[in-house]
Amino acid sequence: MIVDLPKTTSVAVSKKLVSLRNDVGAMTLGRVLTLVIVVEDTQAEDVIEAANDASRQHPCRILVVVAGNRRGANRMDAQIRVGGDAGASEVVVLRLYGPLANHGQSVVVPLLLPDSPVVAWWPHEAPADLRKDPIAVMAHRRITDAAESSNPKAALKRQARTFSPGDTDLAWTRVTLWRGLLAAALDGPPYLPVTEAVVEGAVDSPSSDLLAAWLGSTLRVPVQRVRTRAGSGVVGVRLERSNGPIDLVRPDGTVATLSQPGQPDRRISLKRRGLAECLADELRRLDNDEVYAETLVTGLELLTPATKTASEAAAAGEAPSVEEARRTQRRLARDHHAAAASAMVTAPTAPETGDTDQVRTATAAKLADEPTPREQDLGALAAPAKRTAKRTATPKASTKAAATRTTAKRTAKKATS
């Protein structure tokens, strides 16, 4: 349900919300926070859709502040969305005109949920100093997105200078899965220290810079930043150890390849995170992110600018090769499909009824890394096929050799005659 309130006030909007709740029913009474979004009119709908999706995990009241034309008289047009048009929340869009467009906090305060935290989000350009912005001052958490700013690198540096507890950026949220995979790769034997690291990423990717800064500040090792084409995001990471490098490369933005010494290569799903997923992840915690604070304030200072391209670094052996990762992915995909097709053709039919003792025996064999009775049957079926193939291959080879000898004899007779 969508209700338009032209030329209205905050008090009228609040009364209408109460009236709609009484008419429609007690929906979203378990709201956990108020999400204030400051956005331009042209990007409002996409941002509201992402907030609605995130609200399914975190029911909240969404207040969208849209600054309109600052000329003319003060005016506020409101739109209330509830029910299916608002996800698991209630959305209030406030379009401000005239001098009122510069005082969004004055219309937002009367609509805040009582006794609940406030989260402010700037999906595109954020204020130069959040410490002085009226909406940012009243928020417990402040979410920005350096990737959507006109100059991502300058935005990160500005955030580092003006950082205060509670600040975060969606560029940091986008590398959460990368950080988890790299930490898991180092969490197993042989537990050797990392001597240096390389991060491949786009020149316009603040996520690549934050990932490199995190590795440098956490591992206390030099980190080389290698640039890829614009818009490619984070492409790959190499962690050098004495027994060989650990390479995590995502050449296509969807699936990554993890290569480690002494272990088989693996394909890992590593899709780019959507806006709603990142926002829901940030709404999950409302306290200060100490790791992000250290990475932003300390790690970025240790980071040196990228001087080499990914191809130059790969040719010098300093970074993982993206083309090699693509070939590895194709090989692993072929091996997987071949194994699945072979198992589909040769596997014996599963029994219609199962005995409890048989299930227990098979489970114990699996836990002990031994073949189950069904897998032993599969091996027994495969053995005769291999012997038959060998017997049929031998006569073919001998027949070919005999034909060769006969041809040689005929040639010799013709030569003597």
Taking the alpha carbons at both ends of the chain, their separation in whole angstroms is: 103
The alpha-helical segments, DSSP class H, found in 274-372 are 275-283, 290-294, 300-302, 310-315, 322-346, 356-367
Strand, helix or coil at 283? helix
Domain ranges of the chain: 2-170, 176-272+307-332, 358-390
Per-residue pLDDT tens, the chain, 417 aa: give them: 889 999 999 999 999 988 888 776 655 567 889 999 999 888 899 999 999 999 989 899 999 999 888 888 899 999 999 877 777 778 999 999 999 988 999 999 999 999 899 999 999 999 999 999 999 999 999 999 999 999 999 999 999 999 999 999 999 999 999 999 999 999 988 899 999 999 999 999 999 999 999 999 999 999 999 999 999 999 999 999 999 999 999 998 899 999 999 999 999 999 999 999 999 999 998 899 999 999 999 999 989 888 899 999 999 999 999 999 999 989 988 888 888 777 666 656 666 666 777 778 878 877 887 887 777 776 655 554 444 444 444 444 444 445 555 555 555 555 444
Give pLDDT, residue 402.
52
Give pLDDT, residue 22.
79
* CB contact set of 110 (below 8 Å; sequence gap of 6+): 10, 11, 14
Contact 124, 145 (CB under 8 A): yes
Give pLDDT, residue 413.
52
Give pLDDT, residue 379.
65
Contact 372, 379 (CB under 8 A): no
> In the structure encoding, which two tokens stand for residue 26, read together?
């007690």
**In Å, how far are 17, 206, 290 from 151, measured between CA atoms?**
39, 10, 25
Give pLDDT, residue 396.
44
Give pLDDT, residue 365.
79
According to DSSP, the residues that pair with 320 across neighbouring strands are none
Give pLDDT, residue 89.
79
**In Å, how far are 198, 202, 212, 255, 324 from 258, measured between CA atoms?**
15, 20, 18, 10, 12
Burial zone of 337 (CB within 10 Å; 0-12 exposed, 13-18 middle, 19+ buried):
exposed
Give pLDDT, residue 398.
47
Give pLDDT, residue 393.
44
> In the structure encoding, which two tokens stand for residue 355, read together?
């005995």
